[in-house]
Amino acid sequence: MAGTKDFDLYRPAEEHDELRKVVRQLAEAKIAPFAAEVDEEARFPQEALDALVASDLHAVHVPEEFGGAGADALATVIVIEEVSRVCASSSLIPAVNKLGSLPVILSGSDELKKRYLAPLAKGDAMFSYCLSEPDAGSDAAGMKTKAVRDGDHYVLNGVKRWITNAGVSEYYTVMAVTDPEKRSKGISAFVVEKSDEGVSFGAPEKKLGIKGSPTREVYLDNVRIPADRMIGAEGTGFATAMKTLDHTRVTIAAQALGIAQGALDYAKGYVQERKQFGKPIADFQGIQFMLADMAMKIEAARQLTYAAAAKSERGDSDLTFQGAAAKCFASDVAMEVTVDAVQLLGGYGYTRDYPLERMMRDAKITQIYEGTNQVQRIVMARNLPK
């Protein structure tokens, strides 16, 4: 897929428009029919994984040299946006595959890239990201998980919390302390495999939304791994983690954008069919104003998200601000739009017979993970454009 090096107007090229059509068709045919069931049963969306892998859409960001599609950041955003339009849980397959593997892409050795990106690209494995801990959420540098050098190996001990797709993914990028005296500069990154002795998982969290994407603790009990599984140099893990989030916050913006668009699309169709006082409620000015505001805010979020995707692709110096802004704005819009969409359906919107209450529940997490929106505002304030 073409890059976005000259992508200045933040408008999708023809290639991206074609990709959107393909993903939307796939999502509506093979993912949407299972979305309510996945949510109701809180089960992993295997149908979505199978469909995405079959169409090579599960990890489009992987470079071509490792067997991937080599999609640019905007193409990745479009895939996530279109999948989340029908099922937010399923959109976490391509989103978290990027989150988990991006540290390897950014900082890993050539050998590490070949070893772990090729299976990801083929669909033989998924990748998760282990940063947060029970006592280290927003203050990620306060983590307690340790990695102690022992000859040609490191031994890892600790607990990681809120790990998306834990137990399903084969590979995990794990941040661990290698030098307690240096705080953030004493943190290193490693690839841990699900099959490594000493790796286990907690019970799935019982969540408000994205119920189809398992969120579990990851336990590391004397996990002994070869030293060559370190990502980058010792002590650079935290910097890699933060650089990763600069890029992947754009994917959360995309997820929020898709949820909001799906809610608007459904509500728009409903108000055109629903009649009160002898005419469709879409004819009432109050309803029209709500729809107009929803559409306006979604389009603003889309432009901000696509602009951030272009900056991610180019590696622009203001990506930290733009990624945080896109994630923060789009997720706030998603929450507002889904609440309004429920309102437009009245009592029906409050029932599980319709998808909007699910979309509203799913939208909430986009304001929380990969840094709460309060943290995003701190990030923006510290990186104001000059």
- Active-site positions read 370
Structure tokens belonging to residue 258: 């898709």
Residue 70 near residue 62 (C-beta atoms within 8 A): yes
- Nearest by Cα to 227 from 281, 279, 188, 264: 188
What does the chain come to in residues?
386
Residue 258 near residue 84 (C-beta atoms within 8 A): yes
Partners of residue 185 on adjacent β-strands: none
Residues in CB range of 299: below 8 A, 6 or more apart: none
Structure tokens belonging to residue 301: 């979020």
Neighbours of 377 (CB within 10 A): 14
Structure tokens belonging to residue 25: 């068709």
Residues in CB range of 163: below 8 A, 6 or more apart: 128, 129, 130, 132, 172, 215, 216, 217, 218
